[in-house]
A and B are shown apart, each in its own frame.
Chain A
Amino acid sequence: MSLFFLLNTSIANAQSIAVQKKIKNVFLDSSEVMNLLKSTNENELTASSNEEEEGNTTQLYVPSVLNASRDLFANTAAFHFGVRRFKPKGFSPSFTQVFLNGLPMNQLTDGIAPWSSWSGLNEVMNNTISVIGLKENNLSFGAFGTASYIDLKAAHLRPQTTLTSAFSNRNYQYKLAFTKVLPLNKNGWALAFQFSYRYGNNSVMPGSYYAAPAYFFAIDKKINEHLLSLSLMGSFVTNSRASAVTQFVHQLAQSDNYNPNWGIQQQQKRNANMQTLHYPLLMLSHEYTINDEIKIATTFGYSMGQKIITGIDWYKAPDPRPDYYRYLPTFQTDSVLQATIHQLYVDQPELLQINWNRFYQVNQNSFEVINEANGIAANSMSGKRSKYIVEDRVEQHNKIMFASSLNQQITERCTFSANVQYQRQSVRYFKRVNDLLGGDFYVNWNQFADDQTIGTDALQNDVNVPNRILFVGDAFGYDYSMILQKLTGSSQLNFQTNRVDYFAGIEVSTASNYRIGNVRNGLFPLNSFGKSSTDRFNSVALKAGATYKYNGRNYIYMNAGWMNKPPFINNYYLSPRTRDARHPNSTNEKVVSVDVGYILNAPLVRFRLNSYAAIFSNGISLMSFYHDGYQSLVNYAIGDINQLHIGTEIATEIQLNARWRLNSAIALGKYVYTSRQTYNITIDNQDYISEQGVVYTKNFPVPGTPQRAYHVGFTYQTPTNLLFSITGNYLTDYWVSFNPIRRTYDAMSNVPTDINIGTITNPEKLPDVFVTDLSAAYSMGIGKTKSGTYKSLQFFLSVGNLFNQSFKTGGYEQLRYDVANGNLDKFPTKYYYSQGLNYSLTIRFRL
């Protein structure tokens, strides 16, 4: 993969190193390289994006820096450190921002950019400017991580006719894409469109499925100084999901591709955990170039759509998950039983998969009579009441966006920009019956409340319609909406002197959120239904910096920023599925960040060094899980999260001779929690804080990313425009996300005396990993078009994990913990495993 990047930089340096002369064929230009690069990466990266519902605090790795086309370090990190979900500087993905035609795309709910909602449209999405870290920026205030500005106006896209196809053994197996961009014609019209389709079924990962049509249309009209653009885009992605498994189950299943989510149904592999998402986005933009000095760009956006994740729900029946801890040999105390069960799983590995036929059998035998059905006194329903169903967990989004920016060149050396952005997002969350699996109906009852309170309304998921009988398509369980708004104003000034460039920026924003309950929950009848009160947060961010230009090749810079930012609703609503209770200390989080660096751009050597420090304070988070001590679902509200991230990134590229190039990158980071965090527990069927205390987390490493990573790569280029690249990547200091319960005073009181307390409290590190990747590319000319440009046929092969190693790519400690006995083997850490050797071959006609 890095090959394209290298190709890219080689082109940048082409003239000085006289490679170009020897190339008879058409070479790949930089934007084409980036296209291919992204299309292959996207495939791999989505493969590692199966977050687990249960308590996985590591966020899914977002390939934002893919677009950092000019940054030596960011490229390497994105393409080679991704196997272990490397996060630059250890920053959470919410510090990365994405703008389409100037519209802020990050979700207001969790701050994460919904990359998959426009995946598969690489040929048009590559028109990107990325601002890494606290750099100066004319487009908006930017982000503390990376801000990517993607321009989708037809008039600004690269004119092309392209047919791309790919074959891979990663998430999808086939891809086909067709792209056409017609530049502005003499009447002032420009047109662009792309269609793509990606598909995979039972690839290397059994039970996997992938189908994703994607589309993009844009039409522009230029009238004098005005450019009007209209675009519509979307990606309709359906894919199977994989779950993390414990090391023991991984060994038992004897496969890196083991996924407990699927099972055989009528000779077909059916996955219970599917995700479908489609968020079509409509944008109307207006660009007004008043004169050479002043430009105003405005965009309205509207997006609506939904994400559906399927899963199995059950009522008064054994847990359907085949890797449930009670079903494993380790659960047995008797050695004979242990051995018998172990052997059984070895002989019949299908027992480690979902048993769909059993669900049908159970449902077909489950005859029941429900009295007062739907809350009507004399109404009774009889029939097969399903004990297992497939449910849809639905998120319906509705989003209005507006952004306007003013750019002014005040003097030749001074630019000023001002921005206004507004987002309003409403999200409805509910569950829906997808498949009754052979039964006649399901009932809207909460089985956790069931055994607590007999003869009351507590078990009703909706007191307004008690004993509701459910058929396919009916909403059930929780049902609520979140209404979020954010208004932001920002301004930035860039100023250049002969030797030094300065900049300073400020951003002010105000956000408000509230919840609307669509059902009245039986456990919380008083604060589950209707509109909650509104929370408002005002926040400010500042940044400033200077670059000392020693000469045209050597630069030294220092940038600093300070911000406070409101917590995300996902972190401060304690249990939005049942009620409107909030986190006790939901106030702004504070971040201070400083970057200092040196850049060398010489003809044969490029070098970049960046040192950074970031301090996060007053963070909060929330975890919901089954607590063994309380024997109930609990909400663990963590507060006072303070973090320190310091480190250095170094990237080097050396042109050894006309054929060989050497690349290296080093990320040295140290990300730690600097405080003891506090926790409050609320139990899901009681409405008060049951317990509070301290989590002993001081000096704990921040999990979910390798803190240190090393990369070295060699590229060889033949005179016939064939490229080979081999890279080695060493990823270390990856810590799995930890369970706070094990770091509390309470947990310590139950630790058996013969156990060293450290085994319970110390965080866990994944073994270091060294991965080798290989890539090759070839491009050949196939004639000229009428307009005289070259047509080409391009091949690109990337092979990841060349030596087919098995290693853990990530993991998390289960939040369920055996409080009574301190037995870590009962609910051990769960891991994700690498796929093994993986490849992708892309063939492209550029006409």
Chain B
Amino acid sequence: MRLYYKKLIYAYSLFCFFIGFLGCLKKFDQPETYNGNKLHPTESIRELREGHIPGNTEKLSDNQIITGIVTANDATDNFYKTIVIQDSTAALTIRMDAFGLAADFPLGKRIFIRLNGLWLGEYGGMLQLGGAIDKTDPAYPELLPIPTPLFTKIFVHGLVEKLPEPLLVHFGELKDSLQSRLITIDSVEFAASDTAKPFADVINKVTVNHTLRICNGGSLYLRTSGFASFAALKTPRGNGKITGIYSIFGSQKQLIIRDTFDVNMDGLRCSGNGSRQLFYDDFESIPVGNNLLINGWKNLAEAGGQLFGGQMAATNRYATISAFATNQSSVVSWLILPSINLNATANEQFSFLTKDAFDNGASLQVYISTNFDGGVFPWKAKWTLLKSVIAKGSVSGIASKWISSGNISLNNYSGNVHIAFKYDGSDVPSTINKKTTTFQIDEIKVMGN
């Protein structure tokens, strides 16, 4: 009897452990890399577009299938709830009710669309594909985006393919059949008032239209959303190519870029004919003295009462400053160039030469301001430091060579700007805190094209 129970118990516990540990190791198999699905398109995008009656809305009720490659999406949030696809014949904007569409619809992805049940409609004359029509206001039927849960039913995913080459078009060739096409326009530049401006208003999240001018005549808008990740970047000031999705709003022609990689505009502006000198001064005509006075310049002491002076060595004249022998605990002095207008040029570069003498730690720095009023209180304006190479380290005498500042780009500025040299030193009895380095400045130059 006793043996019997023992056996029963052993058998039973074995059984329990067996079923217990079965499938205990939970390791999930990974799907293989997606191979892409294929459907046979039954019509081209051009055929679909041609079936549309302008100003009308149409429900697509036969089992047509189109295919295309994604040429734009919301990766940078410049397109909102929208992707654009294109085949060899034409392109189409698709309104989709989701965020993060770029995850499922990256650039270059081939997709197939089952059109049955979808709607064609217009927004400002722009043909779009959507999920339904809101006819609350019969005069202005509104196309509704395709809801997310229907994506799996409507879209079949292919593979990521090579993006189609953008179509190079001249202004005169822009027409409605090119709507949503990825196009490139050559010899184009932003209107002078729209250069070096943020692409859109990132603070208030407001869309901004900038005017693009084509050298041979014609203009269109570059439309950028305030939500675009690049909205705060500045528009280029040169001339060149721009690629984007062609769009219209009423009679307005618009271009929408996908990212700043679509903008290549660092060539000469239409009016340009090579490098131009916007400003130059080598101080050869100044008098030697303690107070350098040149017409249009400002020479001001913020603290310590020391001004920039003019000097001559051999035959070369230059500007100079030092806190030496001022007995002032703080010497701050400004030498400000006359205002320079950057509107008619691009790619401006600023350069100058410096020499130091008896360097013990005083500093010379270069600043730029767009809001200095040209008055006598420059320290009240907003100045931005320009990174430049300034001579230093000549502890026991005058440096033998002039040091070049290097080319400092002013490409991010437009309109009237002021450039200033600011000296910061002190002449106190203690050797440790004495900062009386002498700086010499020469060959100030701003070039642009």
Q: Which residues of A contact B (CB under 8 A)?
A: 163, 165, 174, 176, 178, 197, 199, 201, 209, 211, 265-268, 270, 314, 316-318, 326-329, 331-334, 336-337, 340-341, 344-345, 351, 355-358, 360-362, 364-367, 387-388, 438, 451, 454-455, 782-783, 791, 845
Contact = CB atoms under 8 A, between A and B. Distances in A.
Contacts, number: 130
Contact of A454 (B17, B160, B229): B229
B28 A199 contact: no
Contacts of A165: 12-13, 16
**Highest count of chain A CB atoms <10 Å: which of B17, B19, B26, B99:** B26
B31 A268 contact: no
A364 B33 contact: yes
A607 B130 CA distance: 70
B406 to A, nearest CB: 19
Given A165-B16, A265-B31, A318 B117 contact: no
B20 A209 contact: no
- Tell me what chain B mostly uses at the interface: helix, strand, loop, or mixed: mixed
A174 B229 contact: no
Contact of B100 (A176, A266, A318, A328): A318
B126 interface: no
Contacts of A341: 147, 149-150
Contacts of B100: 314, 316-318, 387
Nearest to B146: A337
A326 B157 CA distance: 22
Contact of B31 (A314, A351, A357, A451): A357
A415 B103 CA distance: 71
Nearest to B26: A209
Contact of B148 (A178, A197, A326): A326
Contacts of A314: 100
Interface in B1-46: 1-2, 5, 9, 12-13, 16-17, 19-21, 23-24, 26, 28-31, 33-34
Nearest to A447: B100
Contacts of A358: 104
- Tell me what chain A mostly uses at the interface: helix, strand, loop, or mixed: mixed
25 contacts: A165-B16, A176-B20, A178-B13, A199-B24, A211-B24, A266-B28, A266-B29, A270-B28, A316-B100, A318-B103, A327-B149, A337-B131, A337-B144, A337-B150, A340-B117, A345-B149, A362-B104, A388-B103, A438-B31, A451-B227, A451-B229, A454-B229, A783-B1, A791-B5, A845-B5
B16 A334 contact: no
A360 B34 contact: yes
Contacts of A327: 147-149
A783 B2 contact: yes
A388 B98 CA distance: 16
B341 to A, nearest CB: 28
Contact of A201 (B16, B23, B106): B23
A221 to B, nearest CB: 31
Nearest to B153: A344
Nearest to A336: B132
Q: How large is the interface on B (under 10, 10 to 19, 20 to 34, 35 or more residues)?
A: 35 or more
Nearest to B160: A365
B263 interface: no
B102 interface: yes
A211 B23 CA distance: 10
Interface of B: 1-2, 5, 9, 12-13, 16-17, 19-21, 23-24, 26, 28-31, 33-34, 75, 77, 97-104, 106, 109, 117, 131-134, 144, 147-150, 152-153, 157, 160, 202, 227, 229, 231-232
B424 to A, nearest CB: 28
Contacts of A387: 100, 103
Contacts of B131: 334, 337
A209 B232 CA distance: 49
Contacts of A455: 232
A178 B16 CA distance: 12
A228 to B, nearest CB: 33
A176 B16 contact: yes
Given A361-B34, A387-B103, A163 B229 contact: no
A448 B31 CA distance: 30
Contact of B19 (A174, A334, A345, A438): A174
Contact of B30 (A266, A345, A845): A266
A344 B150 contact: yes
Contact of B20 (A199, A362, A451, A783): A199
B102 A316 contact: yes
A340 B21 contact: no
Contacts of B19: 174, 199
Given A345-B149, A364-B34, A265 B29 contact: yes
Given A333-B134, A455-B232, 14 more contacts: A163-B13, A199-B19, A199-B24, A266-B31, A316-B103, A317-B103, A318-B98, A326-B98, A327-B147, A328-B149, A329-B149, A331-B147, A364-B34, A451-B227
Contacts of B31: 265-266, 356-357, 360-361, 438
B3 to A, nearest CB: 11
A265 B134 contact: no
Contacts of A345: 149
A331 B144 CA distance: 13
A366 B153 CA distance: 23
Nearest to B6: A847
Contact of B132 (A174, A329, A334, A438): A334
A764 to B, nearest CB: 28
B17 A197 contact: yes
B132 A337 contact: yes
B20 A197 contact: yes
Given A317-B103, A438-B31, A845 B9 contact: yes
A266 B27 CA distance: 11
Contact of A326 (B20, B34, B97, B229): B97
B103 A366 contact: yes
Nearest to B101: A318
Please provide the 9 A-B residue pairs with the shortest distance between their CB atoms, ordered closest to farther: A317-B103, A266-B29, A317-B100, A176-B16, A334-B132, A199-B20, A362-B103, A387-B103, A361-B34
